[in-house]
Structure 1
Amino acid sequence: MMFKPQKALTLLALAGLALAPAASKAAVTAYTADDLIMGIQQTGNTQVLLINLGQASGFKTGASVGTVISGLSTVLSSTFGSGWATDSTIAWGIVGTPGASAAGGDTANTLYASTPQTTFGVQSSPFSDSAYTRQSAATQGSGRSNIVTMANTFAGLTSVATGTGTNVAAALQATSTTGGWFSQNPLGAGGSSFSYFNSLEGSFANGVSNSALDLYRMQVYNTAPAGSIGDAGAYIGTFQLSPSGSVSFSTSPGAVPEPTRAVLFGAGLAGLMLRRRRAVRSTVAA
């Protein structure tokens, strides 16, 4: 049986289509109740960088100490400019909540919120703002509702490519997004965040190496451990963003070393100890 040339070419083309790999779909972001969301925005910019840092429980228990996410330098530079690490027009903050129901080991209406350190390396004291103190379920529910609205606008966004590949934890969001990060934290509009906190954002005015955000957890006052309205929220730890685009977390308010610096320091210390040990052995042998 013989095929006509035109028919043969058609069959080959169809076979090629059948064997060709299916086009990969772009990864999208996801959100789970009690995840912490970090937002980074810049005055005059039409986009906000949102990063899902993961479940609050990992930070509450200290399990997430160290580098949380890395490889953000490329998207930070392309979005905010090469001088982003010292740009005073950039603001960043963190929020989270389990929502109207318990989740992630937190009771309903628990709030997580950052506040910038006034003096780098010294824990902040934001309690003059009642939003950082324990309140009733009804009061904290207003903040919770706005945080959940923002988090839902994050879910389903196209993830951004970082220096280590596509990371489903990060995405760019238009400032025009209804209920999004910018609409909840309008820069230059009085500092109100989620219509609840006076302001939970810090800036890079002193450079990211000298900037830090302290994270606080506010439980409803009559949930275990029971307290009183106005009790201070619990300090959870401190976040830093390095010039190389790595987000790190520590359970103390001091500086969080970059992994590379920590490794170099450890290697240097080990080398010094080895040299000293050899010197002692040489002295004994002599």
Structure 2
Amino acid sequence: HGLVRRSSSMNRGRIDHLHTDPALKLHYGDLTDGVGLVNLIRSIRPEEVYNLGAQSHVKVSFDMPDYTASTNSIGTLNLLEAIRAAGLECRFYQASTSEMFGSTPPPQDEESKFHPRSPYGASKLQAHWVTVNYREAYGLFAVSGILFNHESPRRGENFVTRKITKAVAAISAGIQDHVELGNLDAVRDWGFAPEYVEGMWRMLQADEPGDYVLATGVGHTVRDFCEAAFAHAGLDWKQYVKYNDGFERPSEVDALIGDSSRAFEVLGWKAQTTALDLARLMVDSDRKDVERLLDR
């Protein structure tokens, strides 16, 4: 089962291939509609709930702070309360984020200080603590996965990794001449999304609920990712990347590098794909997409 918001335009392209599977049932709803969530949870009676719904773009959260807080913070509270009100003994996963650490220097683990630097990070921090509260106050099997950046070819095109790899594909095909980016010195710990989803699942199979960091433990700058992506297509990134201060955030997070030792010790989880291998993988996927487009 999946929850989707009603929209005037179809924006489910990344899951179109799943619609024909009779095992998948999509339900219209919204995390800000508490009554609707209670009715849906009572109807479905799930054994596991994964809350991945959010306004998840950091830069956009500065432009839409109220919407970000309503969806990310109150939405999580509504979902937890729906589970409690329905009286279900289901297991709940909350998608927390490394952005909650903000200005805390790396490496960051489960005991590191939280100091978010954006409305997105702050909203996710409230959702994180609400999840802890429902676990402690009501005995819910509720966990938070503090996931560092996780990417794949399905990443939205307005996120920097996919923006870069999509531009590489277009530039190498001769249909784009440059790409504009903001802070190239920001350091992030990028991993492969499918591996992180397995980590989410492992958290809900554990004997006891707890919170876990998932990360590769290796940081790279946006510049590093650019260089690897362009080099994979035989291009020099310096010839095609232009700086645009419009992509800078009002307050930047300089470096996020995670320590997922606890996840390895308790869950047996460890990241396998490096950030630079991920860049090459995503470029290959985007180049195939461009080839299909040009062959039409």
For the aligned pair, the TM-score class normalised by the smaller chain equals under 0.3
Higher relative contact order (CA 8 A, sep 6+): 1
Which has a greater percent of helix? 2
TM-score using structure 1 length: 0.27
Which has a greater percent of strand? 1
TM-score using structure 2 length: 0.27
